[in-house]
Amino acid sequence: MKDPLLGNKIAGALLAALLLFFGLPQLANALFGGGGHGGGHEAEGEDHAAHPFPQFPIAYAGAESAGEEKAAEPDLGTLLAAANPAAGERRAAICKSCHTFDKGGANGTGPNLWDIVNRPVAGHEGFNYTPALKAFGGVWSYEHLDGFLKNSAEYVPGTGMAQRFPKAEQRAELLAFLATLSDNPVPFPAPAAPAEEESAPADGAEGEEHASLDEDAAPYVEGVKPVEEPSEPSSEQKKKIELGSLLYHDTRLSADGSVSCATCHDLALGGVDRLPTSTGIKGQHGPINSPTVFNSVHNFVQFWDGRAGSLEEQAAGPVENPLEMGDEWGAVVEKISADPDYVAKFADAYNGAITKETITSAIADFERTLVTPNSPFDKYVKGDKTAISDEAKRGFILFNETGCASCHNGDYFGGTSFQVLAQSYFDERGTPLTDADLGRFSVTGNEADRHAFKSPMLRNVAVTPPYFHDGSTSDLTVVVKKMGRHQLKTELSDEDANAIVAFLKTLTGEYQGVPLDKMGAQ
């Protein structure tokens, strides 16, 4: 006899097989027309608000394993009701490297965030978001923005941003600020009824604090690679490096034989001279503070104003600067060519050619070896949780959350962009503006570049005072507070500034196995 339920049984078995193979969300995509992960740009005019997807939680977006308990967070409505939009605006400073916030503003590398709350996802013209994101209604609700800020790559596979905000309070501050980016702000969700509080046991509180700091720092640590030892040079490269070291320390590159590269960039002093502005021939004072030569190979351009695009260009400049070495390259080549030891070394390294180009090439090759691995922070990044103090960990978190990392970013915490120094800095300094204060404007003549300077690397910053292009401040805590006040428009407390300084001190690395803060003793 024919089984009347045979068709249903076959369909049920087929559905079970599909569920096992695809998983529920992916099967929903297949059935309801969502497309594959990482699909192309969204079609203009597509109505995602009326998307037929069911409103289920997206299980693969940060769901816990079976039996795994998740620590309870306050509900979003309660957090938003208590959040300070001004604090969120300060925190959002780090977002400005990708996003714009202005009404009618153009997109950056990420979408403009004006009216972001409840904006249809499909409204981000030209940006690729997965069908999974559209599945939860197609709009950026507070709840979905919160999940995305916490860990975008986990929340919606196929998307991702470098920054994460692991603390619920951080995200609430950001959301409260984003809510202000509208002529008609979207109301916050209603707070949940307060739950009865349970007193937590005091035992193990100190260990929990350590773990909490490491957990809070983890998203920011993920974006940093430790400085590594330079690779072993070839035998031919070694000859150029050794020659470059001799030239770097040779005062014959200056007109009166009193100044070498090392005069302003002393390796025993952190690669600087620790003077407000450098001293050249005849005791003349230059107009600007000397930046460190350590790790300079990783600067995107050289000099504060970026006028040199390579280490070779940088090495060539000071020789003919009348305030620095005050010589001419023709005369320098003659002096070097008259030294039999140099003649032999150039013959070995450059087939005998002694020119401006081979001299600067050798110096640049030597400077490329001046990298500083093995800082305490590098050890922390590699997994040694005891390598830096709790205060330094808190400072690292503050460094990221207050917006310092929006300019001082990358593995070397700077050296990646030009930044305009706020007019309020010069007003507070209270001295007349100089040509050096013009910054990048001196090179380009572009008004937008007035007072723009290369954002300096912060590796080894603790051993390279004084600070700023004008060398006006030697106290690193004062520097941090000035930057907070002028660049981030926030007044850092002494406690927070000191914590950031504690972090900055962990960035002091080693050269040839010796910590830079011990180089003078060597």
Measure CA of the first residue to CA of the last residue in the chain; give whole Å: 97
H/E segment holding residue 420? strand 418-420
CA distance 497 to 383: 25
Q: Using CA of residue 399, residue 402, residue 408, residue 409, what is the dihedral sign?
A: positive
Catalytic residue among 89, 312, 324, 367: 324
Instruction: Tell me the backbone φ, ψ of residue 203, rounded to 5 degrees.
Output: -60, 135
Q: In residues, how long is the chain?
A: 522
CA distance 415 to 411: 10
Comparing CA positions, the residue from 394, 355, 352, 369 lying closest to residue 237 is 369
Paired with 473 in beta bridges are: 467
CA distance 385 to 375: 13
H/E segment holding residue 423? helix 423-429
Q: Using CA of residue 236, residue 239, residue 243, residue 246, what is the dihedral sign?
A: positive
CA distance 391 to 380: 14
3-state secondary structure 20-82: HHHCHHHHHHHHHCCCCCCCCCCCCCCCCCCCCCCCCCCCCCCCCCCCCCCCCCCCHHHHHHH
Active-site residue flag, 206: no
H/E segment holding residue 15? helix 6-22
- Hey, which residues are catalytic here? 324
